[in-house]
Structure 1
């Protein structure tokens, strides 16, 4: 609330308090106001009340309309203000209505009680009682005057002053005098100190005294407030003196009257006047009872409106004071709920609500700091997780994390690639639910349990073992598995495909076997052959018929088998003792052309043709070994299509470029349209004694692999499918060698070398 608004509220409260005070004052003096007050001032009092009520109702209506519009527009905090205003207004209005109802009934009954019939009768009785008292005093005074007149009638004129004085003392009156026919005072004694002679009587009283002999007037001085206060209210009585001319002396002429003035008791006069005034005021009030009732009830109603307005004003003021920190807190909570933890405003007052806003601001600041720390921690955690995930994604080994229930929690692409199963789709499920992995999963889980219960020597936090995993194609994968138990009973399995390692180990073993066979077997073969030939030479002439034929057949068998054994031993020797490659710059196209000269008949028959790239780069290689490689691959291709009438073999060289357009390698491909490689051969084709030929030793591709490794070349075997779809039937096989060890990026062939033929 601004300073101007606060001052406006203060001025309004002061004004309302003043108006309430004035109205209360009017109500309090209503019973003692002069006669005719409400008749004279009723109009402006009524319109003042109406004007103030209209203004207050207008202010209340405007405030209520503004609050309604705030609630309708959904302004934040308006409902809370409405609730607080309603509570305070209810607290102020309900007691006010109750007091108003009681006061209304009380005022009505009080006003009615003021003009009750019994009160009017009592006032009338009081007036009659006063009049009777004065009348009785007058009768008594008249009797005294008559007796005094009789006594005075027999008194001589010379003794009248003494007689009057004596009569005054006997009658205990204020004044006694002789009055002439016109009311003039002839002589008298006593009287007020302010005048020498008493007042003249009224002529009407004289006439009554003449006709009635004794006349008593009404109390005099009742209308004079000073006379009442000074005790000068009195009764005047006249008595006609019969034969006054004779008794009062010769000098007297005309009628004479005896006048006696007696003062009334002050208390009696005051009581009588009080009753008379009360009766008059009662009659006056009775005449203006309607106006009095309207003024009282109107003022009471206005006081109620003022009370309601003050209650509403207080409700709005206190509501704003209470709602401001609450709204501040509510708005801050809403902002915090929306994630806004910026600095929050606080109140500068010293009450508990202001302290609550400060505490909330401190809490928000602490939350902001905590969130910053959490965000920093989350960022670090996400970075670490991203790094870990990057490592797992690029890790060639397979990684699988199982939860405490044995379900797959984390898996990397290496695991999917090695196991050749959609493991990502099985997260949250057991690995044994994959039918091809049921046996493998059971064996791994048994190994985990064995490591937990009875770990082997040297096994502390992890174990290591190898497993064989059969594939639907007949191939058997050899996996090296390492397992470890993680916190919360989670289990980690890391494994590698060591099938090629095992194959290399077999190749090394075959090399050792071949070396020993070449040493142990080749030496006895020549004596065996010579001995058999010598026996045939010695015994053939001595035998005849069937014996001779049997000898020739047996010796031929021995010689043929010995030759075959020699060839096998020579191949083993070549495999085991392959010399180190002597790398020089050479043209691969020239080598291909030289080897293909050995297969002219196949070229002429259309079963072999070449597609060589122009201007190939020179490669670093051993010409002798590469000739053997080309020869073995071409021969294998021709053997594969030998039983197909339309069989053909293609020898092709290609350049391979990187994404930047730089020359990366030179590729040699031998492609045939034969039956392709069997699935079980593709993974072990380079191992010795792995072949599909009925007469082959299985050392050809093994020698090719060793020579390719010597040259740093990469060799690949694959089957070709119709339309390039592996689901389609096989339409041939392809062997590819990529030579990345180039002598120059581009280079012409050796000028001394043979020209490059374009073979078809």
Structure 2
């Protein structure tokens, strides 16, 4: 029964279970087909026997019971088969098997299609059988009798209506006649109409006046209340009475039949006091007419009684016809189920495919190999499914590309040195990249969904950004702007060396979805470089202005000592020598300061050549042996370091400055703990193959740099020494920039305790020397 029990045509089953299911389904269909053919054959034989029996009444009456039993048995078998099929469909429907509802619907449709013509044929056949049996009797006699009965009724109706009409016309004579004078008027009406009896009744059914036979009756028959209501509604009524009385058909013994007409007497009075009156007219029927009517009625009754014998025969034929209808209907239902199953197979195949597609399964679908429209529909559906699968693969590929592009964009945003923040129209943070967190030094990811002004430390920055966006949006249409740009100072304090001070350059724009894009970058190093350049110009001018008078001052002091030393004695001579020495020493100090200014301002351009950094370090360390250095210098040189590109003279100055700063810091820290041994300064070189660079590191054991110095340690005149000029690290930074080297300055911290500072530079290798 189920189309889903086997594989559809054109799709051979691949599993043993599917093959067995297909074989069982085919066997079931063959068995049901053979059974349906057998039932139809038996039904046809029975109909043939019924046809033979109708030509022989005695044979029909003798074998009617057997034929009836056989028909009932066949109908019962068909009914049992249909019940079994209905039970299977009901079980499938309760189990929720796919296609059960469609099978039930198709079976009902086909059953109705078979039932409607069967009922039509049954009705037509019923009428035909009934009329055929009727034709066995004398149709003319029955028709004549019916015509006579109808003629009598029509005649009586015509007489009644005529009498009622005449009575209504005569009632006008009583309109202005009072009750006391009504008798004379009634006599005139009886003569005018030629009736037997005339009576005038009140509204309460009381007789006012009468003429004719009723005048001599003590208790004349009154009109009933129903008749009076009918007269009030219709203004007239008539009835034939006397046919129910017993009598013969001759004129002497005929019953006294008559026509009684009652009409409403019109009145001219208007108002509630006007009481209606009723005029009753009675006219006897001719005896001959009564006898003829009774004779026709009696003959028709006798003919009908004699025709009752044919009703039994009619019932037998109608019963046989009904059984034939049952056979036809049951066969139609059985065929409906079988044909519905065949029709439902491709539909169920399509429905199952649609359900799979709706569930996201776009694997190739089964098709039917038939050449009809349903087979073509299954093939078109399979092609559509394949196209959907191809389209989904294309969409998946596009989505993968979009995801990859988004991942690439996210990677780019994550690795941007600039900060990127997306804000909504209310200033709430929607997203931020790690660059923004690094520059602003605030974990912005933890504040997503919150206003930027609510982030601690960024209140002023958020307020100024919001003001810039409002100004931009208000002036955008007027000036055609697509972004705004502004610089900001964050964490600025009164100290010029504040480590928290950040200089930002920010740019803002509006995104298509009304969100706002804020991009900013830390230009503190650029500002520092500009400040270094400005200090270099100041140093150049200062060195020029100061150096010229220093030499005359020193020569003049020495000449005074030479002239006056022999002329003074004792304490005056000692004072003279001391003063001259002070002048000369201070002039030398001023010369050294001016030379440092000059070196910083006029540092020559580096001539980059291949340099062996380890050899250069070993050459310089000869000046820092145990005899010449207050703090020992320890080395850790990597033997695989390749040659680097650099200027040997400038690199020598860099190493000298770093070693001197490290020794000064270590010695200064050692004075706080004189009982401990002075640790050595460490100078290390490293080869880093992953980035193809050589690293130079100098580590001291001092107190490290304060937090407010770390960020500006490479700016001129920023120092922690009491007598330092602050130009040492500035010169190192300038030389490192000339060499394209990266320089880093950090404190070495262990368990929260600063153990010293570390300066590292990384140099590019020489491309002309093999590594």
TM-score bin, normalised by smaller chain? 0.5 to 0.7
- Flag the 1:650–1:501 CA change in 2: closer, same or farther, 3 A: same
- Flag the 1:535–1:436 CA change in 2: closer, same or farther, 3 A: same
Q: CA deviation at 1:743?
A: 7.7
Are 1:630 and 2:655 counterparts?
yes
Alignment partner of 1:420 out of 441, 445, 448: 441
- Flag the 1:721–1:302 CA change in 2: closer, same or farther, 3 A: farther
Alignment partner of 1:703 out of 695, 720, 731: 731
Matches within 5 A, 1:434-583: 434-454=455-475, 460-470=481-491, 474-530=499-555, 559-583=584-608
Give me the whole-angstrom Cα distance separating, in 2, the residues matched to 1:542 and 1:449.
Answer: 83
- Contact kept in structure 2, 1:582 and 1:622, CA below 8 Å: yes
Matching residue of 2:756: 732
Q: CA RMSD in A?
A: 5.3
Are 1:400 and 2:421 counterparts?
yes
Give me the whole-angstrom Cα distance separating, in 2, the residues matched to 1:34 and 1:533.
Answer: 174
**TM-score when normalising by structure 1:** 0.60
Matching residue of 1:82: 104
Are 1:686 and 2:708 counterparts?
no
Q: CA deviation at 1:344?
A: 9.0
SS at match of 2:528: helix
Q: CA deviation at 1:688?
A: 0.8
Q: CA deviation at 1:492?
A: 1.9
Alignment partner of 1:331 out of 353, 357, 365: 353
Matched residue count: 558
- Contact kept in structure 2, 1:46 and 1:295, CA below 8 Å: no
Q: CA deviation at 1:553?
A: 7.5
Q: CA deviation at 1:699?
A: 0.6
SS at match of 2:625: helix
- Flag the 1:358–1:719 CA change in 2: closer, same or farther, 3 A: same
Give me the whole-angstrom Cα distance separating, in 2, the residues matched to 1:533 and 1:457.
Answer: 75
Matches within 5 A, 1:263-274: none
Are 1:592 and 2:617 counterparts?
yes
Q: CA deviation at 1:573?
A: 0.6
Gaps in structure 1 of 5+ consecutive residues: 108-274, 748-760
- Flag the 1:602–1:684 CA change in 2: closer, same or farther, 3 A: farther
Residues 616-668 of structure 1: CA deviation (Å, up to 9, x unaligned) = 54444433332322222122112112232444233333332425xxx934332
Give me the whole-angstrom Cα distance separating, in 2, the residues matched to 1:550 and 1:655.
Answer: 56
Matching residue of 1:166: none
- Contact kept in structure 1, 2:697 and 2:760, CA below 8 Å: yes
**TM-score when normalising by structure 2:** 0.59
Give me the whole-angstrom Cα distance separating, in 2, the residues matched to 1:376 and 1:609.
Answer: 60
Matching residue of 1:304: 326
SS at match of 1:578: coil
- Flag the 1:31–1:611 CA change in 2: closer, same or farther, 3 A: closer
Give me the whole-angstrom Cα distance separating, in 1, the residues matched to 2:634 and 2:473.
Answer: 63
Q: CA deviation at 1:589?
A: 3.4
Give me the whole-angstrom Cα distance separating, in 2, the residues matched to 1:312 and 1:476.
Answer: 94
SS at match of 1:693: coil
- Contact kept in structure 1, 2:608 and 2:647, CA below 8 Å: yes
Give me the whole-angstrom Cα distance separating, in 1, the residues matched to 2:371 and 2:441.
Answer: 72
- Flag the 1:665–1:578 CA change in 2: closer, same or farther, 3 A: same
SS at match of 1:436: coil
Q: CA deviation at 1:602?
A: 7.7
SS at match of 1:702: helix
- Flag the 1:666–1:327 CA change in 2: closer, same or farther, 3 A: closer
SS at match of 2:458: helix
Deviates further, 635-644 or 588-597:
588-597
- Contact kept in structure 2, 1:96 and 1:308, CA below 8 Å: no
- Contact kept in structure 2, 1:587 and 1:617, CA below 8 Å: yes
- Contact kept in structure 2, 1:687 and 1:702, CA below 8 Å: yes
SS at match of 1:730: strand
Matching residue of 1:653: 684
- Contact kept in structure 1, 2:421 and 2:429, CA below 8 Å: yes
- Flag the 1:410–1:536 CA change in 2: closer, same or farther, 3 A: same
Q: CA deviation at 1:692?
A: 1.4
Matches within 5 A, 1:226-245: none
Give me the whole-angstrom Cα distance separating, in 2, the residues matched to 1:462 and 1:378.
Answer: 31
Query: Which one has the largest radius of gyration?
Result: 1
Give me the whole-angstrom Cα distance separating, in 2, the residues matched to 1:534 and 1:574.
Answer: 30
Give me the whole-angstrom Cα distance separating, in 2, the residues matched to 1:465 and 1:457.
Answer: 19
Q: CA deviation at 1:92?
A: 8.0
- Contact kept in structure 2, 1:77 and 1:327, CA below 8 Å: no
Give me the whole-angstrom Cα distance separating, in 2, the residues matched to 1:545 and 1:482.
Answer: 76
SS at match of 2:692: strand
Give me the whole-angstrom Cα distance separating, in 2, the residues matched to 1:653 and 1:569.
Answer: 32
- Contact kept in structure 2, 1:515 and 1:577, CA below 8 Å: yes
- Contact kept in structure 2, 1:84 and 1:315, CA below 8 Å: yes
- Flag the 1:619–1:381 CA change in 2: closer, same or farther, 3 A: closer
- Flag the 1:22–1:455 CA change in 2: closer, same or farther, 3 A: closer
- Flag the 1:40–1:64 CA change in 2: closer, same or farther, 3 A: closer
Gaps in structure 2 of 5+ consecutive residues: 10-25, 130-301
